[in-house]
Amino acid sequence: MKERSMLQNAALLVGIVFLLVGILGFIPGITEDAPGDFAGEDSEGSLFGVFQTSILHNLVHLLFGIAGLALARTWEGASNFLLWGGVAYLGLFVLGLLGVMDWLPADDTDDWLHLGLGVLMVGAWAAFRGRPGRELGEERATAR
């Protein structure tokens, strides 16, 4: 069995978190007024009472999580998932600041969460993007 790289592990972790968040968005008690409206900024659904959500929002989280799990199987897939997924979340942050997110329930807390996710994902990509099997930590260890 081939060992996963740190890049793949990071993508796997992000995928698992998104999958869990997508599932939790449908569970009453964890999500107020679960699952909320199908779409739109006026959805009453609220994950942990903090983050606005909707059925569409939850489905997107589920699909993004499944994509992360699938892409984490290869180094190239994990690299693309972290980089381009992070760029997408940074884009969502900008769209949120511009106030053009009417199709998705997102308020200020969601906007800042999108910024954090984007920075985290692109940061993980940058930290672990070295050649497969020659990641930052491994290069340091072999240089000694």
From CA 117, how far away is CA 15, in angstroms rounded?
Answer: 12
- The per-residue pLDDT for 133 is 56
Q: What is the mean pLDDT of residues 57-76?
A: 95
Confidence of residue 125 (pLDDT cuts 50, 70, 90): very high
Percent of the chain scoring above 70 in pLDDT: 87
Considering the domain boundaries, does residue 80 fall inside one?
yes
Which range of residues forms the domain containing residue 27? 6-143
| Tally of domains in the chain | 1
- The per-residue pLDDT for 78 is 96
- The per-residue pLDDT for 132 is 63
Contact (CB, 8 A) for 44 and 62: no
Considering the domain boundaries, does residue 43 fall inside one?
yes
From CA 58, how far away is CA 35, in angstroms rounded?
Answer: 8
Helix H segments across 4-71? Answer: 6-24, 55-71
- The per-residue pLDDT for 63 is 96
Element (H, E) at 33: none
Considering the domain boundaries, does residue 28 fall inside one?
yes
Considering the domain boundaries, does residue 67 fall inside one?
yes
Considering the domain boundaries, does residue 1 fall inside one?
no
Joined together, the tokens standing for residue 41 give 């900024």
Between these two residues, 104 and 131, which has the higher pLDDT value? 104
Cα-Cα end-to-end distance for the chain: 28
Total length of the chain: 144
Amino acid at 112: W
Contact (CB, 8 A) for 6 and 79: no
Distance of CA 64 to the CA centre of its chain: 7
Confidence of residue 43 (pLDDT cuts 50, 70, 90): confident
Considering the domain boundaries, does residue 52 fall inside one?
yes
Q: What is the mean pLDDT of residues 59-68?
A: 95
Give the pTM: 0.82
Rounded to the nearest 10°, the torsion over CA 39, 45, 46, 49 is 170
From CA 112, how far away is CA 141, in angstroms rounded?
Answer: 36
